[in-house]
Structure 1
Amino acid sequence: MSVEIIVRETKTGLEIVSGRRRLDALLALRDEVVVTSPGVGEVVIARLPDGRLQASANPEHIELFRQPETASGSKKSFA
């Protein structure tokens, strides 16, 4: 599945420019999604328990999210 979500960096963090409905649909299936945005690069976006969205362009967060889940290990979450 290919979904375009455009985010931009602001002084206070990252702001979703377009694709909010598509992002909401993806977050209904998973806790976190990785998107790629021109000028920003890869970003992990997570829905917090209170419903707010949090984004991170930190490579460590992206690497953590991309790790394959193991059957015996605990599920890690960015949120």
Structure 2
Amino acid sequence: MSVEIIVRETGTGLEIVSGRRRLEALLALRDEVVVMSPGVGEMVVARLPDGRLQASANPEHVALFRQPDVTGSTKTLA
């Protein structure tokens, strides 16, 4: 499964422009997911214990949380 969200940078961080519903569905299953955002690239989004979302585009964080695709495809981003 691949998920794409579109974000924009604000003074306090990143704001999700579109794709929030799919992201929320994935975060209901896992606390951290890897997604693709145009202009940002791959990033990991985590739900914190207080319910806030935190994102990182650090390649080391993305690699840490990337999950293997259960269908065998190597192009899965979530």
TM interval, short-chain normalised: 0.7 to 0.9
In structure 2, the partner of 1:30 is 30
Residue 17 of structure 2: SS of its match in structure 1? strand
Structure of higher RCO (CA pairs closer than 8 Å, 6+ residues apart): 2
* Paired letter, 2:16: I
Greater CA deviation, 2-11 or 31-40? Answer: 2-11
Runs of 4+ in 1 over 4 A off after TM superposition: none
Residue 49 of structure 1: SS of its match in structure 2? coil
Unaligned runs of 5+ in 1: 69-79
The total of aligned residue pairs comes to 68
Question: What is the root-mean-square deviation of aligned Cα atoms in Å?
Answer: 1.8
Conservation of the 8 A alpha-carbon contact between 1:45 and 1:55: yes
Give TM-score scaled by structure 1 length: 0.73
Give, in angstroms, the shift of residue 21 of structure 1. 1.3
Give TM-score scaled by structure 2 length: 0.74
How do 1:42-61 and structure 2 match up within 5 A? 42-61=42-61
Q: Deviations over 1:11-59 (max 9, x none)?
A: 4322211111111110000111111111111110000011000001111
* Paired letter, 2:6: I
Larger radius of gyration: 1
In structure 1, the partner of 2:12 is 12
* Paired letter, 1:55: A
